[in-house]
Homo-oligomer: A and B are copies of this chain.
Amino acid sequence: MSKVTCQISMSVDGYVAGPNQSVENPIGEGGMRLHQWALATSTWREQHGGRGGERNADAEIVERSMQGVGAFIMGRNMFGGGDGEWDEAWTGWWGDDPPYHAPVFVLTHHPREPLTMDGGTTFTFVTEGIESALEQARAAAGEGDVAIAGGASAVNQYLAAGLLDELHLHVAPITLGAGERLLEGVGAQRLEPVEVVASPAVTHLKYRVLR
> Quick check: which of A131-139, A141-149, A191-199 contacts chain B, the rest being far away?
A191-199
Given A12-B183, A12-B207, A183-B12, A173:B188 Cβ within 8 A: no
Judged by a CB distance under 8 angstroms, whether A92 is at the interface is no
Quickly give the copy total for this chain: 2
Q: Do B174 and A190 have beta carbons less than 8 Å apart? A: yes
A200 contacts B by Cβ under 8 Å: yes
Contact partners of A207 in chain B: CB under 8 A: 12, 173
**B191 A173 Cβ-Cβ under 8 A:** yes
Taking the closest CB of chain B, its distance from the CB of A41, in whole angstroms, is: 17
CB-CB under 8 A from A190, the residues of chain B are: 173-174
**Interface digits, A193-211 against B, CB 8 Å rule (1 contact, 0 not)?**
1001011100101010000
CB distance from A6 to the nearest CB of B (A): 13
Question: Does A189 belong to the interface (CB within 8 Å)?
Answer: yes
Measured CA separation A200–B207 after assembly (Å): 11
Q: Residue on B with the closest CB to A196?
A: B198
Give per-residue flags for A110-141: 1 if the beta carbon is below 8 A from chain B beta carbons, else 0: 00000000000000000000000000000000
Say whether A27 faces chain B, with CB atoms less than 8 Å apart.
no
Interface of A toward B, CB cutoff 8 Å: 12-14, 30, 159, 169, 171, 173-177, 183-193, 196, 198-200, 203, 205, 207
Q: Apart from A174-B191, A175-B188, what 15 extra A-B contacts exist at CB < 8 Å?
A: A12-B207, A13-B183, A13-B186, A14-B183, A159-B175, A171-B205, A173-B190, A173-B192, A173-B193, A173-B207, A174-B189, A174-B190, A175-B187, A177-B186, A196-B196
